[in-house]
Structure 1
Amino acid sequence: MRVPFAGGWANVSRETIDRLEQYESLLRKWNPRINLVSQGSLDALWTRHFADSAQIFHLAPPSASQWADLGSGGGFPGLVIAILAAEARPMLRLTLVESDQRKAAFLATAAHALGVSVDILARRIEALAPLRADVVSARGLAPLDTLLGYAERHLAPGGVALFPKGATVGAELDRALEHWRFCYQKEPSTTDPQGVVLITGGISRV
């Protein structure tokens, strides 16, 4: 089965497709009560949310064993990453951080229904002990300046942070460089012509 993921079209198993289809059903069932995604994006889930999340998974170092997704919300990118990792990287351990109790409950219900293993922390990011993750991700959560603070706290030495950003990425980088030293690489987004995924590391305060 072929679906639109990062790098054009990627081959994934029937089991992965089944999980994604089941995830779509769960989102449609829960969304009217919790507003997990905007109503207008429901009919574009596979490109707007699934493929957008999948490209983050494919940019992570294959050697990563601990991944922390911050502000997971309805599961993007964290739950999509867990679905893909179940087949491609079964040893990858994922932690989803979501302070909204209702959304955390959805994530727990969905992960159980989909048969994927994740740790869910229903707490504020700032209140957590350092997670020491090889990869930190966050999608649509906060400006880059704030995200780098989260990443500095929760990345293991040598880890990388993956942050999808839109057309304002240049301005966000300029503001962040006033307070942080970091290395970064911009990978063009496969789902947003004006977007990129920032791959950042070596983060320290100025």
Structure 2
Amino acid sequence: MSDFTFPAGFITGSDGVSRPPWAEQTELLRDYYDTEWGVAVTDEQGVFERLSLEAFQSGLSWVTVLRKRPAFREAFAGFDPDAVAAFDEADVERLMANEGIIRNHAKILATIDNARATVALRETGTDLAKLVWSFRPENQELPTSLETIPSTSPESLALSKTLKAAGFRWVGPTTMFALMEAIGLVPKAQRPFLEGQS
């Protein structure tokens, strides 16, 4: 990767690693960017967790979600789709009273509905992870600047439509593009090729 050039606008931190500005805001974001962002997630539970957290992030900062992620995992049974799909009104009340998570009633209900849709997908011969990964872009061109990094793509729009048709909610094309970036479906233009960094 010695010939890799980071897009214009990246910041080189005190550790010599180049990152986009959002990843240099806090130590938590730097660690997430360096170790998780853009790394392939291919299991159903892992994709369901990230889809859920991207929905909770909508309208908020990602660092807010990261700080609350341990509480989210505990509150949502480790994001086990089968467990969350069985949540009832008592669970909704429990979640709304949980100060450790983002207490948004609509997003909580959407997460439960999305767990049920995840379980239902299996009856079609696929699962959430396989479905999401089927929308991996064929064109993997890297942007040349932060300004040219898109917030949606034809694939994220198509994924959004497919998921909505399957009963998923809070899965708009921008949120799905963020998911696709986070779990490794699109170019790692905002993530350093760490093996080539010193």
Task: From the two aligned structures, give the one with the greater strand fraction.
Answer: 1
The structure in which a higher percent of residues are helix is 2
Higher relative contact order (CA 8 A, sep 6+): 2
Structure whose CA Rg is larger? 2
